[in-house]
Structure 1
């Protein structure tokens, strides 16, 4: 949260990353020379990731895409047809219901 406090009143989830970033800047820079701040880029990247979760979201999207691609490459063998699924529970279609239910129990 913007106030620096988390939802439960303690420090926010990214506060340790912020402290680490400040410590890096204090150690690597001084009032006259700010070039040492380049050493803090990995720490700054960690802090931004904590705030925005961009890398985590990209990784999740990539995993979901790979899973969908794998599912499309290997469709289910005994999947019921759309017409069979529509018939489930309707009067006069008990045979279809029994055949689908027996196929799913295997």
Structure 2
């Protein structure tokens, strides 16, 4: 939540990630080292993931797509083949019976 408090009081779910990010910035805020702030990229990425769940959503979409693909592939296995359908009393099967008689 925007206030920093969770829905049921107490700290929000992303508060530990925010503390980690803030600590990284405090430790790496030396004025003489400009590249030090780049070291906090992993902490910033973790905090954004906690807020927005973009990676988790992408992983969920990929798993759902793979599940749908597997489900449609397995449905095809249960259907009879074209040759099996032709041999179930269609004209070709009757013609063979007439020739043999």
Fold shared by both chains (TM-score > 0.5): yes
**2:75 corresponding residue in structure 1:** 75
Structure showing the higher helix proportion among its residues:
2
Aligned-residue CA RMSD in angstroms? 1.7
Shift of 1:30: 2.5
* Structure 1 ranges of 4+ moved more than 3 A: 31-34
Shift of 1:35: 2.7
Deviation by residue 1:16-65 (Cα, 9 ceiling, x = unmatched): 00000000011111245443110000010000000000000000000000
Residue 34 to residue 5, structure 1, CA distance change in 2 (3 Å) = farther
**Unpaired runs of at least 5, structure 1:** 79-106
**Unpaired runs of at least 5, structure 2:** 80-101
Say if 2:16 is the partner of 1:16. Answer: yes
Whichever of the two has the greater Rg, that structure is 2
**2:61 corresponding residue in structure 1:** 61
TM-score (norm 2): 0.71
**1:87 corresponding residue in structure 2:** none
- How many residues align? The count is 78
Residue 34 to residue 9, structure 1, CA distance change in 2 (3 Å) = farther
